């Protein structure tokens, strides 16, 4: 009976609701009207080091069509090497903002959200001010 109970616990741990990779459905507002402008989307952990914020990001991808489903990596690290090595780690349990750029669109950013708080999210980009990110069901990349 013990091996069955152990297997069941391992299976439940593997299926934990916090083990999934959250997704975000990005609607590209540059497509209406006219041809779409590609938007490079970055996830920006709020616990970033001050030393190099532009390098402390999760590169989620480029949206070149009317919409795209992007997946958050579960975690990442950033290291600064000098006399001492400093390493920062982020996970989808940390607060994030999205930001991005395109050659033809002014830079923009979103409000803060925690990716693991929902299986999926949705946002329309670019926008003005702090663009809201809404909880949603997971999309399929």
Domain ranges of the chain: 20-136
| pLDDT tens sequence across 3-45 | 443 333 333 333 444 557 899 999 999 998 879 999 999 998 8
Q: What is the pLDDT of residue 67?
A: 96
Non-local (6+) Cβ contacts of 114 within 8 A are 92, 93, 94, 95, 96
- So what's the pLDDT on residue 19? 59
pTM more than 0.85: no
Which CATH number among 2.20.180, 3.30.2320, 3.40.525, 2.60.40 corresponds to the domain 20-136? 2.60.40
Mean pLDDT rounded to a whole number for the chain: 81
Query: What would the mean pLDDT of 109-119 be, rounded to a whole number?
Result: 94
Q: Does the pLDDT at position 127 exceed 90?
A: no
DSSP letter for each residue of the chain: -HHHHHHHHHHHHHT-GGGS--EEEEEEGGGSSSSPPPEEEEEEETT--SS-GGGS-EEEEEE-SSEEEEE--SEEEEEEESSSEEEEEEETTS-EEEEEEETTEEEEEE--B-GGGSSEEEEEES-SSEE--EEEPPP--
Half-sphere exposure of 88 (CA within 13 A, CB side): 18
- Asked whether residue 106 carries a pLDDT value surpassing 50, the answer given is yes
Percentage with pLDDT > 70 across the chain: 80
Residue 60: the pLDDT is 94
The pLDDT value recorded for residue 44 is 85
């Amino acid at each position: 009976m013990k091996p069955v109970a152990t297997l069941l616990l391992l299976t439940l741990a593997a299926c934990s609701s916090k083990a999934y990779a959250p997704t975000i459905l990005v609607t590209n507002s540059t497509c209406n009207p006219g041809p779409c402008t590609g938007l490079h989307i970055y996830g920006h952990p709020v616990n970033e080091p001050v030393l190099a914020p532009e390098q402390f990001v999760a590169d989620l991808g480029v949206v070149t069509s009317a919409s795209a489903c992007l997946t958050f990596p579960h975690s990442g690290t950033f290291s600064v090497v000098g006399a001492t090595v400093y390493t920062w780690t982020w996970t989808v349990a940390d607060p994030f903002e999205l930001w991005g750029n395109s050659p033809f669109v002014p830079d923009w950013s979103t409000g803060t959200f925690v990716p693991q708080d929902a299986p999926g999210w949705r946002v329309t980009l670019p926008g003005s001010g702090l663009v809201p990110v809404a909880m949603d069901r997971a999309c399929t990349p």
